Amino acid sequence: MAAEETSKLCELGEAYPMKGGDGPKNYANNSTYQRGAVDVVKHVINMAIEEKLDIDNLMLSNSNTTFRIADLGCSVGPNTFSSIDTIIEAVQSKYQTQGPRPSSSQIPGFQVFFNDHTSNDFNVLFKSLPDQNRRRYYAAGVPGSFYGRIFPRASIHFVHSSYALQWLSRVPKEVVDKDSPAWNKGRIHYLNSTEEVARAYRAQHAEDMECFLDARAQEVVCGGLMVLIIPGHQLQGSPNDSHSFLNVTYRLLGSSLMDMAKKGVVSEEKVDSFNIPIYHMSPQELEAAVEQNGSFSIEGMEHLPQVPKLDTVAQNAQLIASHSRAVTEELFKQQFGDELILDELFDLYRKKLEAQPSIFEFMGTTTFLAVLKRKAN
Amino acid sequence: MAAEETSKLCELGEAYPMKGGDGPKNYANNSTYQRGAVDVVKHVINMAIEEKLDIDNLMLSNSNTTFRIADLGCSVGPNTFSSIDTIIEAVQSKYQTQGPRPSSSQIPGFQVFFNDHTSNDFNVLFKSLPDQNRRRYYAAGVPGSFYGRIFPRASIHFVHSSYALQWLSRVPKEVVDKDSPAWNKGRIHYLNSTEEVARAYRAQHAEDMECFLDARAQEVVCGGLMVLIIPGHQLQGSPNDSHSFLNVTYRLLGSSLMDMAKKGVVSEEKVDSFNIPIYHMSPQELEAAVEQNGSFSIEGMEHLPQVPKLDTVAQNAQLIASHSRAVTEELFKQQFGDELILDELFDLYRKKLEAQPSIFEFMGTTTFLAVLKRKAN
C-alpha cells in the first residue's frame, strides 16, 4: 500500500519528484479528474452515511461512546485526510439531525486509525496530520497488513480504504517457481501472460479477499459501514483481452525490462522472478467474495470517472510512464537495487507507449467504489 | 520524551552508541539495578491490578469490550513492552480468577496505544514491536504531547508512563527572557540557580501537571488506573541544597558548557538561552497536584531502588557523563547544531565529575512510582 493508483497521481508525483514536473503531470492537467473523483467519493460517502448508517442501533446510548474510523492502506497521507473529514462531517450531521436525542452533547467523539504496512513511513504521516487543535478527531497509527486482524473485536464503526485493495498480500508462489506450470518467465504480471499465471493471481486474490473480509467481519460493529475504492479492470474488453489498455501497458513495461536484461543491464533471472503483486478485481469478484464471506451486504456500487486523456500521444505516454513509475518504483528497487537504472527503464517504456498510439483510445482503468454494511450477527 | 532517565541507561546507550561501550556502561555493570527496578515495577503493577482494579465496574458486561492501555512517552521502545506484558498478564489473570463470569470468553481483548511526541521515531517503534502473532494485543501509535488530550473521552482503562513526566512541556519563558529577573544567564537548569529561576520551573511544572491530570481525567474511565514512574529529586537534602548530587551535576555540566563558550567554541548567547526542561518532582508535589485536580486518588507510592555505585570514581564519573549525554544529547544538538563538539563537552564534564569524588557518596536520584485511580464521577 506504499504506492497508489491513478487518482492519487499528482500527490504521488510530489512525493517522488521526477524530472519534467512541469509537463503533462502538472496539477492543471490532472485536477479535472481529481476534482471529479473526489466529488463522486464525497457524494457516495455522504449518501451512505445519510441512508445506510443506523446510528440508533450502531452506537451505545452512552454519550461517551467513540465513533472509530479505520483508514486501511493510508500511505503517508495527506490524500486520506479529506475523506476522513467528509466521513466525520456526515456522521456529525446525522447525529445533529437524526440522533437518538438531538442534543449536541450526544455527538460522539471520533478516533481515526491510519493503517498501513509496518514499512510505511508513519513519521511522515504523523507530521502531515492536520494540527491537533484543528482536527475533529484523535489520531492513531496502526502498523500491519489489513489481510490480518489489526483491531480488537467489534471496535470499528467505519472503514475507509482507497486505492489499496488492488495490492495482493504477496506475489503468488507458483509464478516464481521454475518447476510450476505457472512460472511467469520473462513477464511481470498476469495480464498478457498464460492462463496458469492468471489462475495463480486469481487464487491469491480470492484468498486475500477472504482474509480481508474475515478480519473486517470481526473488527467492524454490526451496522458498521465500509467504503472501498478499488482500481479494477478496464471498461473495454475482458482483463485477458490482449488488446486491452492494462494488458498492453503491462506487456510494454515487461518488455522494456526484458530489453534491459538482454543488454545485460539487469540479470534475466531477476526479471523472471519479478512480478507486480497487483490484481485488478471486477465488481463481480467483489460481490462473490462478499457473498462467500456472508457477514456484509453490498449497499451500493459506483464507478469513478475515467482519467481524461491529454491532448497528444506524447503527453499520454509520459503520463502513463510517470504513473507506472510512481506505483512500481519501490518494487523495482527492492528486486533490482542499484543495478537497474529506473530513468532508463521508464524512458524506454514511454517510447514503447508512444509507438503504439492506438492504445490511448481505450486508456484508463475502471475504478469503482463499493459500500458494504456489516450485517447483524 | 525522546530521551529517558536512569533506569533505561543501558538501552539508551545502545540507541545512541558511544565510544568505550565496553567500559562502565556495559550491561553487566548495570543489570543489577535494571533487574531490581524491573522487579519492583512488576510487583507494584501486579499488586495494583490485583487489589485496585475493579473489573466488575470498570468494564461493560459486553464480552466484546476492549481493555485499552496507554503508554505515555513510550520513546522508540523496547523497554516499554515488558511493562505492557506485565499489565496484560495481570488483567487476564484477574479476569480468569475474579471476572464477572469466570469463562475465558469473558476476557477482554487488549489494545495498546504507544504515545510520544510527533517527532518521536514511530517507524523504529513499530518495527521493534513484538511480532503480531506473538502479541496479545493490538498496537497503535499516538503522536502528540501528553500535556494535552490525545484520546477520546473515557476510552482508556490503564495508563502507564515511565521516565517521561520529568520532561516539562517547554522551557519556562522567563528563564530565556533577558528582561526577566528569572533570566538564567550562564546556567542550564534551575538547580544551582536563583530562586527566581527555580520558581519559574516550579510554575511551569505545576501548570504541566494540571494539564496532564486534566487530560487524563477526561480520557481514563472511572475506576481506571495510572502507573507513573517518575525520576524525582534526591534522597539527601532538598533539591536546592547546593551540595546535592543533582545540583552538583547540573552545575558541572553547565560550567563545562560555559568553559567552551569562553574558549569561543560555542556562542555565549546560545548558552544563556539554553536550559534543560527537566523538573525533578517530589512525591509531595505529585500529591498536591492530584489533590488539586480532584479526579484521581493516590492508591500507592513506591521508591525504586537506587542505582548502585560502581567501584571507582573514574567509573562513576564515566557513568554519569554517559547517562547525561544520552538524556540531553538531542537538546544540545537542537540548540548548538554542529558548532558544539559533544565528545569534548562530555569529556570535560567527566573530568569535572572526577575532580569532585565526594559527590558520588550521595549519587543517585529518587525515582518513585505512583498508582493513581480515576475516581467515580
In a domain, A28, yes or no: yes
The distance of B221 to chain A (nearest Cα, Å) reads: 10
The pLDDT of residue A237: 47
Instruction: Spell out the residues 6+ positions from residue A336 whose beta carbon is closer than 8 angstroms to its own.
Output: A266, A270, A274
Asked if A371 and A225 touch (Cβ cutoff 8 Å), the reply is yes
Task: Provide the domain limits for residue A228.
Answer: 6-374
Query: Over the stretch B314-353, which tens digit does the pLDDT of each residue have?
Result: 999 999 999 899 889 999 999 999 888 899 999 999 999 9
The pLDDT of residue A58: 76
Closest partner residue to B66 among A64, A143, A155, by Cβ? A155
Beta bridge partners of A111: A68, A138
Q: Is the pLDDT of residue A41 over 60?
A: yes
Work out the mean pLDDT of chain A and round it to a whole number. 85
Identify the weakest region by mean pLDDT among A337-341, B186-190, B281-285: A337-341
The pLDDT of residue B194: 93
Percentage with pLDDT > 70 across chain A? 84
The distance of A164 to chain B (nearest Cα, Å) reads: 20
In a domain, B133, yes or no: yes
Q: pLDDT confidence of A39, banded at 50, 70, 90? A: confident
Asked if B321 and B355 touch (Cβ cutoff 8 Å), the reply is no
Q: Is the pLDDT of residue B26 over 60?
A: no
Q: Between residues A48 and A55, which one has the greater pLDDT? A: A48
The distance of A96 to chain B (nearest Cα, Å) reads: 19
Q: Is the pLDDT of residue A10 over 70?
A: no
Nearest CA in chain A to B131: A144
Q: Is the pLDDT of residue A341 over 50?
A: yes
Q: Between residues B134 and B349, which one has the greater pLDDT? A: B349
d(CA B248, CA B264): 24
Q: Between residues B37 and A172, which one has the greater pLDDT? A: A172
Query: Over the stretch B62-100, which tens digit does the pLDDT of each residue have?
Result: 445 899 999 999 999 888 899 999 999 999 999 888 766
Q: Is the pLDDT of residue A22 over 60?
A: no
In a domain, B335, yes or no: yes
Query: Over the stretch A236-284, which tens digit does the pLDDT of each residue have?
Result: 445 566 778 888 899 999 999 999 999 999 999 999 999 999 999 999 9
Grid coordinates belonging to A14? 510530489
In a domain, A104, yes or no: yes
Is A132's Cβ below 8 Å from some Cβ in B?
yes
Identify the weakest region by mean pLDDT among A90-99, A281-290, B9-18: B9-18
The pLDDT of residue A124: 97
Q: What is the mean pLDDT of residues B231-249?
A: 71
In a domain, B1, yes or no: no
Nearest CA in chain B to A113: B140
Cβ of A155 within 8 Å of Cβ of B123? The answer is no
Closest partner residue to B152 among A126, A138, A152, by Cβ? A138
Q: What is the mean pLDDT of residues B132-142?
A: 93
d(CA B206, CA B168): 10
Q: Is the pLDDT of residue B35 over 80?
A: no
Asked if A339 and A58 touch (Cβ cutoff 8 Å), the reply is no
CA distances, B231 to each of B8, B16, B246, B279, B339 (Å): 11, 21, 11, 9, 31
Domains in chain B: how many in total? 1
Instruction: Characterize B209-220 residue by residue with b for buried, 16 or more Cβ atoms within 10 angstroms of its Cβ, and e for exposed.
Output: bebbbebbbbbb
The distance of A211 to chain B (nearest Cα, Å) reads: 15
Asked if B323 and B23 touch (Cβ cutoff 8 Å), the reply is no
Cβ of A110 within 8 Å of Cβ of B152? The answer is yes
Interface A-B, measured as beta-carbon pairs within 8 A, has a size of 80
Identify the weakest region by mean pLDDT among A3-7, A78-82, A103-107, A227-231: A3-7
Query: Given the C-alpha cell 517457481, which residue does it identify?
Result: A177
CA distances, A121 to each of A165, A201, B58, B121 (Å): 19, 28, 36, 10
Which residue, among A104, A4, A2, A87, has the nearest Cα to A49 in the 3D structure? A87
Q: pLDDT confidence of B307, banded at 50, 70, 90? A: confident
Is B99's Cβ below 8 Å from some Cβ in A?
no
Closest partner residue to A143 among B126, B154, B155, by Cβ? B126
Q: Between residues A148 and B23, which one has the greater pLDDT? A: A148
Identify the weakest region by mean pLDDT among A19-23, B100-104, B214-218: A19-23
d(CA A280, CA A191): 9
Is A127's Cβ below 8 Å from some Cβ in B?
yes
Taking contacts as CB-CB distances below 8 angstroms, the residues of chain B near A64 are: 153-155
d(CA B166, CA B279): 5
Q: What is the mean pLDDT of residues B289-295?
A: 98
d(CA B333, CA B16): 13
B297 Cα distance to chain centroid: 21
Is A294's Cβ below 8 Å from some Cβ in B?
no
Taking contacts as CB-CB distances below 8 angstroms, the residues of chain B near A129 are: 118, 143
Q: Which helix (H) or strand (E) holds A373?
A: strand A367-374
Closest partner residue to B109 among A64, A143, A152, by Cβ? A152
Interface probe, candidates B60, B118, B122, B136, chain A, greatest A C-beta count within 10 A: B122
In a domain, A1, yes or no: no
**DSSP character at residue A141:** E
Q: pLDDT confidence of B101, banded at 50, 70, 90? A: low
Q: pLDDT confidence of A321, banded at 50, 70, 90? A: very high
Is B334's Cβ below 8 Å from some Cβ in A?
no
Interface probe, candidates A138, A169, A220, A221, chain B, greatest B C-beta count within 10 A: A138
Strand A109-116 to A220-231 pairing: unpaired
The pLDDT of residue A240: 60
In a domain, B197, yes or no: yes
A175 Cα distance to chain centroid: 23
The pLDDT of residue A243: 74
d(CA A13, CA A369): 23
Query: Given the C-alpha cell 530513468, which residue does it identify?
Result: A343
The pLDDT of residue B63: 46
Q: What is the mean pLDDT of residues B350-365?
A: 86
The distance of A97 to chain B (nearest Cα, Å) reads: 23
The pLDDT of residue A365: 67
Nearest CA in chain B to A111: B152
Ranges of H-type helices in chain A: 9-15, 27-52, 55-58, 79-98, 122-128, 195-219, 245-262, 268-272, 283-293, 313-336, 342-354
User: Is ipTM over 0.90?
Assistant: no
Percentage with pLDDT > 90 across chain A? 66
d(CA A195, CA A242): 12
Nearest CA in chain B to A115: B140
Asked if B175 and B201 touch (Cβ cutoff 8 Å), the reply is yes
In a domain, A317, yes or no: yes
- Transcribe A191-252 into DSSP letters: TTS-HHHHHHHHHHHHHHHHHHHHHHHHHEEEEEEEEEEEE---SSS-TT-TTSHHHHHHHH
Q: Between residues A124 and B310, which one has the greater pLDDT? A: A124
**Exposed, middle or buried by CB within 10 Å (0-12, 13-18, 19+), for B15?**
middle
Grid coordinates belonging to B104? 475465558
Q: Is the pLDDT of residue B103 over 60?
A: no
- Residue A146's domain is classified under what CATH number? 3.40.50.150
